[in-house]
Structure 1
Amino acid sequence: MKNKKIKIALSGSTGKMGHVILKEIKQIYNVELSILLVRKKNNKEKNVSNNETKNKSILTCTSLKNTYKNFDIMIDFSEAKNTIKNVKYCVKHKKNIIIGTTGFSDSEESFIKKSAKKICIVKSANFSHGINIIYLILENIINKIKLKKIKIIDKHHKHKQDSPSGTAIEIGRIINKKFGKYNTKREVLNNKNINFISKRKGEVIGNHTILFSNKNEILKITHKAKNRSIFAKGAIQSAIWSFKKIKGLFSMKNVVNKNEDILW
């Protein structure tokens, strides 16, 4: 580990998160970017840094075909269908993958879970330490909360496609333990105990608020992301954490809590 840098393949390199990961990965001594995976129509776009595309040690490509020897772990912040393709490739070539993509269907979620029986997958809707600390807090207090009116409010930039956000859905899953077993996205959204409110406006990076209330009091938990570097750093930290792990489905909660309790 001290002598070898972990080689990272980045999928979604032309997106907002891709830009930040490109910047942050240079600040960490024991990892290096080895592959930039881009969409065909974006292969020559200016939003892929010229320094990266001209760097001979970094392979910029539109397909992972025959690249498995060039990377150790993949970080994926792309889109659901593309991520599933990348998971299939990683399973085939025994490569671990860090998934920050959201908006998966229940069947896609099931596929990822099955794939984690063969490789190590760290999947999180939100890689910030703050949000994952909130997850841990909620898990410890949810059964003690007597306030029955529940709202989960997520605010994001106008370009975000999934609504509610993956983070809001995960918060919903944790709260659902108070009412019974609701695991799938459909079950979470159909739970009448929770009111999801999603707002898409401007360039808001990501704000999440959980409100528990009754006629006498309100309990409010809020997290606001000031910049995207918190997500990038968390994803890279997850890649380092997962290095040499053989298999299992984990989340950023495992990384923050420094434990290896498998989610399935």
Structure 2
Amino acid sequence: MDAHPPVRLLIHGATGRMGQALLRLCREETTGCEVVAAVARRVDTRVVDGVPRFTAAELSGVPAFDVAIDFSLPEGFDAILALCVARGTALVSGTTGLSDAQKAALDAASTTIPLAWASNFSLGVAVLHDLVERAAKLLPGWDCDIVEAHHTRKLDAPSGTALTLGTAAQAGGADPHYASIRAGDIVGEHLVQFAAAGERIELVHRATNRDIFARGALHAAARLNARAPGRYRVADLL
């Protein structure tokens, strides 16, 4: 029996930290995926390691692909979503800081294409999300605080992951408060604390290597390919 052909990927935000990790993992590891195009705001070299590169202004001219993986900025998000809808291809996005209008556009697009948006593609955070909601339900009236720490180049605060965890806390009945730290080269740390008189509970996830997010996004892309239209969670795909 012939092996399945590789999933053809478009990497959007290719020169960012996540974009670079995705390109390296596709080059170095067996992922079941093949990068056919890389897109960035600016391109200095047209082909790198056999992958053609395109500027954001040239997005409409990229070759055929099965799934786009987007780790860019909110100002670049509309164009990649529109391209996926126009071509009927899947989208995996980890771009945070989206506006309400952009979130609504995601919902609308999910009626015609399969897509997965997540603030964090690690399995550990998916588990943490579940634990936070369960703790909030079991601890009514306790104070809930979410503290997140990232590298100094991260622009949005609180992080998308912190807000997602806050949504889980609210689903359990808590009223979360947020604090953000930007320091050094911290990959990502999230602490959810529940406190009452005389005691507190801390739920923590620490990422020490960005590759966990990139691998999660690649796994999601491979599993999202050829799915029916809809919005999928990380837990649905990993």
Q: TM-score normalised by the shorter chain: which range applies? A: over 0.9
Partner of 1:64: 59
CA distance change for structure 1 residues 15 and 216 in 2, over 3 Å: closer, same or farther? Answer: same
Alignment of 1:175-190 (within 5 A): 175-179=169-173
**SS where residue 146 of structure 2 aligns?**
strand
67, 71, 76: which one aligns with 1:73: 67
Superposition deviation, residue 29 in structure 1 = 4.5
Query: 1:153-210: CA deviations, max 9, x gaps?
Result: 0000111000000000000111111338xxxxxxxxxxxx322000111111100000
Query: 1:90-116: CA deviations, max 9, x gaps?
Result: 001101000011000111111111111
Aligned partner letter, 1:232: A
**SS where residue 108 of structure 1 aligns?**
helix
229, 232, 236: which one aligns with 1:250: 232
**SS where residue 60 of structure 2 aligns?**
coil
82, 85, 88: which one aligns with 1:94: 88
CA distance change for structure 1 residues 54 and 219 in 2, over 3 Å: closer, same or farther? Answer: closer
Q: Does 1:9 align with 2:38?
A: no
Give TM-score scaled by structure 1 length.
0.84
**SS where residue 59 of structure 2 aligns?**
coil
Q: Does 1:38 align with 2:52?
A: no
Partner of 2:185: 203
**SS where residue 129 of structure 2 aligns?**
helix
Structure 2 distance, partners of 1:167, 1:210, is 11
Q: Does 1:129 align with 2:123?
A: yes
Superposition deviation, residue 217 in structure 1 = 1.0
Partner of 1:259: none
Structure 2 distance, partners of 1:219, 1:240, is 37
Alignment of 1:166-245 (within 5 A): 166-179=160-173, 193-245=175-227
Aligned partner letter, 2:3: K
Identity of aligned residues (%): 25
Structure 2 residue ranges without an equivalent (≥5) = none
Partner of 2:30: 28
**SS where residue 89 of structure 1 aligns?**
helix
CA distance change for structure 1 residues 145 and 255 in 2, over 3 Å: closer, same or farther? Answer: farther
Partner of 1:185: none
Structure 1 distance, partners of 2:132, 2:186, is 24
Q: What is the count of residue pairs matched by the alignment?
A: 234
Asked if structure 2 preserves the Cα contact closer than 8 Å seen for 1:136 and 1:253, the reply is no
Q: Does 1:84 align with 2:78?
A: yes
Query: 1:32-75: CA deviations, max 9, x gaps?
Result: 11101121xx3007xxxx9x5251xx3211122133x5211000
CA distance change for structure 1 residues 33 and 150 in 2, over 3 Å: closer, same or farther? Answer: same
Greater strand content: 2
Q: Does 1:53 align with 2:54?
A: no
Structure 1 residue ranges without an equivalent (≥5) = 181-192, 257-264
Alignment of 1:141-180 (within 5 A): 141-146=135-140, 148-179=142-173
RMSD over aligned CA atoms reads 1.8
Asked if structure 2 preserves the Cα contact closer than 8 Å seen for 1:150 and 1:211, the reply is yes
Superposition deviation, residue 81 in structure 1 = 2.1
Runs of 4+ in structure 1 deviating by more than 2 angstroms, as ranges, are 136-142
Superposition deviation, residue 227 in structure 1 = 0.7
Structure 1 distance, partners of 2:123, 2:21, is 16
Structure 1 distance, partners of 2:49, 2:134, is 49
